[in-house]
């Protein structure tokens, strides 16, 4: 559904996209992750035709977005990163507008509005002005405007930023439903757990290009997490760790942190050496660990 090949976009001296390649198939949710400035939002703007690429090709459903941006837009629904709502309009006004722009007739509009409102738990505030509803409800309204017309390609740019648990849960469920019905979803985020909930594949962006692509399991496999231990000793004092662990340990904020690909094994080694922590926290590998690992593998991309 979405194919991007060698996309280049510069803003003055800044090369925001530098050979960006990405494919998203119908029914697939792709999590586009990367640090700020990696090119995620610029790529979304290129796909929507808001920004014209300097080079490369992007097509949506086979339509070249540069050659025919309007035809390509008809296949897209977008939830931008920043809230873009009319404070004096009601939630229903927003949903009706985007349903109408997508071409839904009056009866279908009303049905679609009611259904997406129910999905995103907005039914109770449909008649309220956006300026008077909560931040979470605004965030859901923004997402609902993108989801109301069942577009075949969804671009959701950090849709859960600042969202509460209720908003996040409702939104993720709605996205899963769309993907299950065949929509291709490009979902940019900084939160890996969300992508795990969505069952998304990962595309890691850095410096304007995709540096890794695959399932979370494939990409995170073998990455070290962290054992975070407290020993109840005075600040600055640490137990004598087994020699095998000392090279991977550091003292931070009164706790000992051990980089580990095998936390149970390392914990067992600690206990066997007579080091008895008063608290243990196991941190799974996250995006930063993935970036660090990729930076070591592909240093020239940084």
Q: How far apart are CA 93 and CA 186, in angstroms?
A: 26
Cα dist from 278 to 98, 233, 255, 265, whole Å: 55, 10, 11, 18
Closer by beta carbon to other proteins, 18 or else 114 = 114
Sign of the alpha-carbon torsion through 160, 163, 166, 167? negative
Residue 300 Cβ vs other proteins, minimum distance, rounded to whole Å: 29
Closer by beta carbon to other proteins, 36 or else 70 = 70
Residue 220 Cβ vs other proteins, minimum distance, rounded to whole Å: 31
Residue 79: both structure tokens together: 């939830």
Residue 48, helix vs strand vs coil: coil
Closer by beta carbon to other proteins, 97 or else 196 = 97
Cα dist from 270 to 43, 66, 226, 238, 265, whole Å: 47, 59, 14, 13, 9
Closer by beta carbon to other proteins, 101 or else 269 = 101
Residue 194, helix vs strand vs coil: helix
Residue 113 Cβ vs other proteins, minimum distance, rounded to whole Å: 10
CA proximity to 186, closest of 15, 55, 17, 23: 23
Q: How far apart are CA 120 and CA 91, in angstroms?
A: 12
Residue 52 Cβ vs other proteins, minimum distance, rounded to whole Å: 7
Number of C-beta neighbours around residue 257 at 10 A = 17
Question: Which parts of this chain interact with other proteins (CB under 8 A)?
Answer: 1, 26, 45, 48-52, 61-63, 70-71, 73-76, 78, 80, 82-89, 93, 97-98, 100-105, 108, 112, 115-116, 119, 145, 147, 149-152, 177-178, 181-182
Residue 213 Cβ vs other proteins, minimum distance, rounded to whole Å: 22
Residue 118 Cβ vs other proteins, minimum distance, rounded to whole Å: 8
Cα dist from 221 to 28, 202, 225, 286, whole Å: 21, 13, 11, 11
Closer by beta carbon to other proteins, 70 or else 299 = 70
DSSP letters along 150-203, please? --SEEEEESTTTT--HHHHHHHHHHHHHHHHTT-EEEEE-S-HHHHHHHT-EEE
Closer by beta carbon to other proteins, 61 or else 286 = 61
Closer by beta carbon to other proteins, 126 or else 290 = 126
Closer by beta carbon to other proteins, 152 or else 159 = 152
Given a contact cutoff of 8 angstroms between Cβ atoms, the answer to whether 117 and 95 are in contact is: yes
Residue 1 Cβ vs other proteins, minimum distance, rounded to whole Å: 7
Residue 109 Cβ vs other proteins, minimum distance, rounded to whole Å: 9
Residue 61: both structure tokens together: 């459903």
Q: Which residues contact 194 (CB under 8 A, 6 or more apart)?
A: 31, 160, 168, 172, 187
């Amino acid at each position: 559904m979405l194919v991007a090949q060698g996309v280049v976009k510069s803003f003055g001296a800044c090369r925001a996209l530098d050979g960006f390649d990405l494919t998203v198939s119908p029914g697939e949710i792709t999590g586009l992750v990367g640090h700020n400035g990696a090119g995620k939002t610029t790529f979304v703007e290129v796909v929507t035709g808001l920004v014209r690429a300097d080079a490369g090709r992007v097509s949506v459903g086979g339509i070249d977005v540069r050659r025919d941006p309007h035809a390509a837009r008809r296949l897209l629904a977008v939830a931008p990163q920043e809230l873009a709502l009319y404070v004096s309009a009601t939630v229903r006004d927003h949903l009706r507008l985007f349903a109408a722009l997508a071409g839904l007739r009056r009866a279908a509009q009303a049905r679609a509005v009611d259904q997406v409102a129910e999905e995103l738990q907005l039914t109770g505030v449909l008649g309220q002005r956006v300026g008077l509803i909560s931040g979470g409800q605004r965030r859901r309204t923004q997402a609902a405007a993108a989801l109301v017309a069942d577009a075949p390609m969804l671009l959701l740019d950090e849709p859960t930023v600042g969202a509460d648990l209720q908003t996040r849960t409702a939104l993720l469920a709605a996205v899963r439903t769309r993907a299950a019905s065949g929509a291709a979803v490009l979902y940019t985020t900084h939160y890996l757990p969300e992508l795990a909930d969505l069952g998304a594949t990962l595309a890691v962006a850095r410096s304007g290009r995709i540096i890794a692509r695959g399932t979370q399991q494939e990409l995170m496999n073998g990455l070290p997490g962290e054992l975070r231990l407290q020993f109840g000793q005075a600040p600055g004092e640490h137990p004598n760790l087994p020699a095998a662990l000392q090279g991977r340990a550091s003292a931070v904020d009164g706790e000992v942190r051990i980089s580990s690909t095998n936390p149970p094994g390392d914990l067992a080694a600690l206990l066997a050496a007579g080091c008895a922590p008063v608290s243990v926290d196991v941190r799974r590998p996250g995006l930063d660990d993935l970036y660090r690992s990729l930076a070591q593998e592909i240093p020239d991309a940084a």
